[in-house]
Amino acid sequence: MNLNKDIQQLNNKLDLLRRKLDDAKAKDNQPLVLQFKRELATVNKKIASIKGMQSRNNSAQVEALKALAFNRVLTKVEQADMGKFKKSIRGLIVVHPLTALGKEMGITEVTGYAPKSF
């Protein structure tokens, strides 16, 4: 179950329903307008539900990362050869500030989390 893919599909469906709703309003077809409004409401509820699931998943990951014993900002040299760096440190998790996880954690620089110091 890929939540991002599901949200994208629902947003596409939402866009389609909005266009159909505008067409139905232009033709002054009240039964269709009501039907599309109901469908819009259900799609919006599904999107909100999936976003809530994403938020819960991110919160769980944040707690797991904060439970790790060691963290520090990675230097530019370490970031340049990330593959080699990750292989040399067992259990290293790198969080970028522009990802959803990084934004939720409030970090401003690329940070590494690991069970032991590195």
- What the chain holds in terms of domains, given with CATH numbers, is 1-65 (1.20.58), 68-118 (3.30.1370.150)
Mean pLDDT of 28-50: 94
Q: Does pTM surpass 0.75?
A: no
Q: What pLDDT, on the 0 to 100 scale, is given for residue 1?
A: 56
Residue 71 has pLDDT above 80, yes or no: yes
For tokens 């230097």, name the residue. Answer: 75
Residue 102 near residue 66 (C-beta atoms within 8 A): no
Mean pLDDT of 96-115: 92
Cβ atoms within 10 Å of 10's Cβ, excluding its own: 16
Q: What pLDDT, on the 0 to 100 scale, is given for residue 35?
A: 94
